[in-house]
Amino acid sequence: MEQFAGIKAYLAERAAKVEAALTRCLPAEWQVPSRLREAMAYSLEAGGKRLRPAFVMAAAEAVSGKAEAADAALPIACAIEYVHTYSLIHDDLPAMDNDDFRRGKPTNHKVFGEAMAILAGDSLLTHAFYLIAQAARQGAVSAEAALDMTEELAVLAGARGMVGGQAADMLGEQGITTIEELEYIHLHKTSDLIVFSLKAGARAGGADKRQLDLLETYGRNIGLAFQIQDDILDLIGDEKKLGKKTNSDVTQNKVTYPYLIGIEQSKAQVEMLTQEAKSAILEANLPLPEKLLEIADYLVHRDH
Amino acid sequence: MEQFAGIKAYLAERAAKVEAALTRCLPAEWQVPSRLREAMAYSLEAGGKRLRPAFVMAAAEAVSGKAEAADAALPIACAIEYVHTYSLIHDDLPAMDNDDFRRGKPTNHKVFGEAMAILAGDSLLTHAFYLIAQAARQGAVSAEAALDMTEELAVLAGARGMVGGQAADMLGEQGITTIEELEYIHLHKTSDLIVFSLKAGARAGGADKRQLDLLETYGRNIGLAFQIQDDILDLIGDEKKLGKKTNSDVTQNKVTYPYLIGIEQSKAQVEMLTQEAKSAILEANLPLPEKLLEIADYLVHRDH
């Protein structure tokens, strides 16, 4: 029996739930140009780990102590996947990372053209806020919680959050020389949305301020560890498992953790961040902390 | 004394208020890559009529019967200008309308590059939702009203609204042959955000359902009239006043109202839509309807 079989099955089950809901989130009766709808659906359905939605649901469960809290948080889980998907579409554009493939499939602009890819991204981002408002409308979360989530998503996905990280990445190309600059980029490009996911799920589960702060610590560290692990896997990983060409960052002379501090120290860093993340969860004294702890361990040992 | 001196002064005063607030809306203490902040500010400060914010404030005033309601609605007015500005930046991109100039200044991507222009647009859109949540946080509007606005902005700016209109415009290039297709584009590209502005301002002013519906009718008609008037001015207008090359739509073989139904019928259409808009306002029985009526008249007679 494989070590992480349990948590992998848990994540797969969550991913399946989210995937079943994702395209339904854009009402079928809405009059939307069909090519735009197709472009949105194409990237929503392109697979991936669905890690952020899983964090939303796991946090709701952990904080409330009830497994059914995960289902109530599903609209919020979809909202965050809309935001994540938009960010991938825009990041892949020729003017940005200029990627032709993602998860083994042609990128959005390769299939639908640049204009439609930009607009599909814009629509997905916009619709995430609709889904949060709807969650309140349908009674899944309180109006107050929905407003908190709206505000926090706007901060963590915007100029001071994820987009700020991507901008720093673009501006710093070739020019990054310190671990601090690289950390800034990863914290914003990756950790911010993970932090949002955890706090939104926790809010749906009724978390207090102290729990929210500790989940933020967990999310920041997990996000950073995840990104460093990605850098490591990109260098040593198996092409097929990753679904993209390994070593692509090195080919592009992209500055990574292994490049700056070496493979061994990068691995030690991932281990340390994971421990700090788990400590925060233990300190939060949640009724159902297990899944969040297991996800942390799984992510650091994953091979793709 | 010029016929529209009063309403022009009113709009100028509103525009000045919004302009003074616009860049302050992105907190100075936020850690944002400076180039991204500059790109956002560049387009926010690029002028324009500030018509949508004026609609927010005029509607708040009209519905509440109090001039000070306009000031309370200022954060919402800024939010809508953030959305409008993002849409202009993305529409101007090479993959979209490929415009080098807007309002006589180089477009965002010409100054900051495509990557930063895409990200500046993404940030502006995202921040609009922050501003709405903040308006509730600061007590300018109720939590319930802020949620309504969030939901409505997400609908009217998204796939079913403004972005849908832009997508239809992109997809239909050269291929539009009917007035219905053209109307669909204008209703979504232009009217939707104007409708949002009016309803958001009206909500801030405490409007009931019937008033909201009538303001929607006003907004839809005014938006369409505005756009047809733009098409007309583009054909016959004065280059300097418009701040862009006239006839550019014709040069690009862009299908317009005058192209489809002729100048005279286009003018008649503008007149009819304006009358319908004004009728809706009169029917709504608002305590201070004057400015909304005057704006309607002014827009149809403007020469730039």
Q: Name residue, tokens 């839809």.
A: B220
For the beta carbon of residue B104, count every other beta carbon within 10 angstroms: 11
CATH fold, domain A5-301, is Farnesyl Diphosphate Synthase (1.10.600)
A167 and B35 within 8 Å at the Cβ level: the answer is yes
Instruction: Write down the pLDDT at residue A24.
Output: 92
Higher pLDDT pick, A239 / B293: B293
Low-confidence ranges of chain B (pLDDT < 70): 1, 174, 237-253
User: Which chain A residues in 98-137 lie under 8 Å from chain B, judged by CB atoms?
Assistant: 113-116, 118-119, 121-123, 125-130, 132-134, 136-137
Alpha-helical segments (H) within chain A: 5-22, 34-44, 51-64, 69-72, 74-92, 108-112, 114-137, 143-157, 162-172, 179-186, 192-204, 209-236, 239-242, 248-251, 257-261, 263-284, 290-301
Per-residue pLDDT band for A173 (boundaries 50, 70, 90) equals: confident
Q: How far apart are CA A69 and CA A67, in angstroms?
A: 5
Tens of pLDDT, residues A176-235: 778 999 999 999 999 999 999 999 999 999 999 999 999 999 999 999 999 999 999 988
Name the H helices within B93-208.
108-112, 114-137, 143-157, 162-172, 179-186, 192-204
Tell me the sheet residues that pair with A102: A105
Of the residues B119, B137, B173, the best mutation for testing chain A's interface (the one with the most A CB atoms within 10 Å of its CB) is B119
Residue A273 vs residue A178, higher pLDDT? A273
The pLDDT, as a whole number, for residue A198 is 98
The letter for the amino acid at A136 is A
Decide if B33 and A168 are in contact by the 8 Å CB cutoff: yes
Residue of B nearest to A168 (CA): B33
B5-299 belongs to CATH 1.10.600.10:
yes
* B241 exposure class (CB count in 10 Å sphere: 0-12, 13-18, 19+): exposed
- Considering CB atoms only, which of B119, B128, B163 is closest to A123? B163
The residues facing B105 across adjacent strands are B102
pLDDT band per the 50, 70, 90 thresholds, residue A252: low
Q: What is the H or E stretch that residue A102 is in? A: strand A101-102
CA angle, B239 then B244 then B245, to 5°: 65
Short-list A287, A295, A146, CA closest to A211: A287
Is 60 exceeded by the pLDDT of residue A1? no
Q: Per-residue pLDDT tens for A117-132? A: 999 999 999 999 999 9
Q: B interface mutation test: which of A107, A137, A147 has the most B CBs within 10 A?
A: A147
Do the Cβ atoms of A122 and B121 come within 8 Å? yes
**Residue A32 Cα, gap to closest chain B Cα (Å):** 5
Lookup result for tokens 């029996």 = A1
CA A149 to chain centre: 16
ipTM over 0.85: yes
Cβ-based burial of B283 (10 A; exposed 0-12, middle 13-18, buried ≥19): middle
B158 closest CB neighbour out of A115, A123, A137? A123
Structure confidence at residue A241 (pLDDT): 54
